[in-house]
Amino acid sequence: MFWTSWFLAVLAIALAWPVPILLSRAQWPARSPFTAMLLWQAIALAGGLSMIGAMLVYGLEPIGDNLLAGLKSLAGMVFNNAPTTELGFWHIFALSAAALLTAHLVFTLLLTFYKIQRQRRRHRELLALLASPSADGPRTMVINVDSPVAYCLPGGARSVTVLSDGLMAALEPAELRAVLNHENAHLDQRHHLLLWAFAAWRQALPWLPTTRLAQEAVSSLIEMLADDVALKTASKATLIKAIAIVASGSPGAPDARMAFGGPELSDVEPGQPGALGGAGSARTTASRVSRLLSPQPPLPEPVRAAVLVACLLLLAVPTALLIVPGLLG
């Protein structure tokens, strides 16, 4: 029990700090974004699991030989008023911390979900009144805005991709199709679920380096994944041109601020570093374009397989350490 808790604590610290920093600096995720995405998910899940697990195992050490036995005696103390004298101050502290952290994570996940759903519903209501259906399909709407904007609003069967008039005017049909395929890839691959989970993870533990790095990496990786889908039907040149036109016309650029027109939009303060999702998404656009301009081969098969095995181990080892001794004992 004692060594288990130390091992889990070391794992939790490694996954909270050095590992995500190394991974966020690595170059290979741009070559195999899907593999990198799996690794980030494994890091986040294993990090949470080992963090809670380490505290739980440490706290239960005096009252059980393994996690399951410990939990059973703990339940006896909580529900049947069995004596708690075996538990020292630090054990109770660790157990309370584990319980609080678990509750905090679950609560933040649910709260973030509720907030996102509410914002999306409001957005959809307004779109229904303001945007008109496009000729490109039932899931596409056009909104009367001069600057080139494209985004998708997930929502199951009611998911829509929204294009602005400015975008339709600025892009050739082939470029427009590339943008649409890119956005539909987000919807088809359910990227919003990843963004939700990692946004909640960051919201819950904002001071932990891993949560910010993971969220930034994930938002950048989903763009690369969607670009790869768009590249199946569009040429690289088409996609690059579409990205460049939208980016240079979007409100980061001075002239686009004018194109936006109207005092109504003056409260949108674009172009400030730090605002607008900040440096993270700026880096995303840069790395997307450089990835398209000078493509690197994907990681070799054995390396990808090794990363997948590492993902599995990350999840399997803490789980096994927590559960297996109880099942054997």
Partner 1 sequence: MASLGELERAVMDLLWAGHEAATANTLRDLLAQSTRAENGTAGHVGKDLAVTTVLTVLSRLERKGLVERERGTRPHRYQAVSSREDHTAELMHEVLGSAPDREAVLARFIGSVTDTEAETLRKLLGLS
**Shortest Å, Cβ 232 to partner 1:** 17
Instruction: Report the DSSP beta bridge partners of residue 153.
Output: 160
Residues in contact with partner 1 by the rule CB under 8 A: 112, 115-116, 119-120, 123, 125-130, 143-145, 149-154, 162, 179, 182-183, 186, 191-192, 195-196, 199, 203, 219, 222-223, 240-248, 250-254, 262, 264-265, 267-271, 273, 275-282, 284-286, 289
Nearer to partner 1, 8 or 242 (CB): 242
| β-pair type (150-153, 137-143) | unpaired
Nearer to partner 1, 286 or 312 (CB): 286
Nearer to partner 1, 5 or 250 (CB): 250
**Shortest Å, Cβ 134 to partner 1:** 15
Q: How far apart are the C-alpha atoms of 181 and 325, rounded to whole Å?
A: 49
Q: How far apart are the C-alpha atoms of 248 and 166, rounded to whole Å?
A: 13
**Shortest Å, Cβ 114 to partner 1:** 11
**Shortest Å, Cβ 62 to partner 1:** 42
**Shortest Å, Cβ 30 to partner 1:** 16
Instruction: Please say whether the beta carbons of 224 and 33 come within 8 A.
Output: yes
Pick from 245, 80, 276, 264: which is nearest to 168 by CA? 245
Nearer to partner 1, 72 or 120 (CB): 120
The residues, any chain, with a CB within 8 Å of residue 19's CB and separated by 6 or more, are: 43, 210
Rounding to the nearest 10 degrees, give the CA dihedral for residues 115, 121, 124, 130: -90
Nearer to partner 1, 62 or 270 (CB): 270
